[in-house]
Amino acid sequence: MTPSPSTGTVLDSIIAGVVEDMDTRKATTPLARMQQLAAEAAPARNAYDALVGGRDNAAGVGIIAEVKRESPSAGPLADIASPAELAAQYAAGGAAAISVLTERRRFGGSLEDFDAVRARVDIPLLRKDFTVDEYQIYEARAHGADLVLLIVAALDDTQLRDYLALTHELGMHALVETHTVEEIQRAVAVNASIVGVNVRNLKTLEVDTAHYGTLAGHLPANVVRVAESGVKQASDVAMYAAQGADAVLVGEALVKHGEPRQAIADFRQASRS
């Protein structure tokens, strides 16, 4: 079993707050009730099929467009008056899926933002948070999520395997996020079907866009390969596509763009070969 990361990193600090906020929600809605709500939710959309379309170079890579108010590294990003309207623009621009931040303390997100987006669009949604407890997976499904985020660096091997299995039991898929060769190997060992490489080191928040290319060769051909972070312009998306990415997750560049619908179309066009 691979231990969780040592204390003192940015990731550890974020997770500590996530656990505290989750415990507050648990006090209001206990696990048994959340499990019931998850069972009663409408069936999940097939996020895998939506993302695997990025392998069709004629159509361009799949864009996972993010609703993101702020970040630990950049601070406030955008005053998003209506997450639902932003998501509608993303969908109209051809996004394959939409990611909604629900972590409150460092990203300014909320489940209310997620609910607003879910009520507006009908494409797959990723509940973007730091999953460290099965409660969050049931909670995501109860709110209509189709994808959850499993960060390999935040989980030991048993958690990673069990949480991925639970995600599938609930009809969802998981974006299994990695940053190192070892983490890719751990993701492959649990048969992850959607594997992301985050070019941001969550322990330090440093970004290196060349990092995806360094690790791309270690990603199996049979998984959906997602490049995460570092996108500032269309050429960055094209670079990831040229290195084999099937999908690219974009947050800051879209929420700060005056015309997000057009930006997504431009990103996809730039990635076509």
pLDDT tens, residue by residue, 239-257: 999 999 999 999 888 988 8
Q: Does 232 participate in catalysis according to the annotation?
A: no
Phi, psi of 175 (to 5 degrees): -90, 110
Identify the pLDDT of residue 251: 84
128, 139, 193, 252: the active-site residue: 128
Annotated active-site residue 103? The verdict is no
Average pLDDT of the chain to the nearest whole number = 92
Answer yes or no: are the C-beta atoms of 271 and 241 closer than 8 Å: yes
Rg (CA), the chain: 17
Whole-model pTM?
A: 0.93
User: Any catalytic annotation for residue 256?
Assistant: no
Superfamily of chain region 9-270: Aldolase class I (3.20.20.70)
Encoded tokens for 60: 């361009």
The question of whether 68 is a catalytic residue gets the answer: yes
d(CA 230, CA 253): 9
Could you tell me which residues are beta bridge partners of residue 198? 228
Nearest to 223 by CA among 56, 46, 55, 99: 55
Can you give the residue ranges of every domain in the chain?
Answer: 9-270
Work out the number of other CB atoms within 10 angstroms of the CB of residue 191: 13
| Residue-wise pLDDT tens digits, 12-44 | 999 999 999 999 999 999 999 999 999 999 999
- b/e 54-90 (16+ beta carbons within 10 angstroms → b): bbeeeebbbbbbbbbbbbeeeeebbebeebbebbbbb
Q: Between the CA of residue 260 and those of 28, 60, 65, 272, what are the distances in Å?
A: 37, 17, 9, 19
Question: What b/e sequence results for 7-24 when a residue is b if at least 16 CB atoms lie within 10 Å of its CB, and e otherwise?
Answer: eebbbbebbeebeeebee
Pick the catalytic residue: 99, 229, 252, 271? 229
**Which is the catalytic residue, given 99, 193, 198, 271?**
198
Instruction: Choose the catalytic residue: 177, 193, 201, 271.
Output: 177
Q: Which of 103, 183, 228, 252 is catalytic?
A: 228
pLDDT digits (tens, 9 = 90+) for 82-104: 999 999 999 999 999 999 999 99
177 catalytic? Reply is: yes
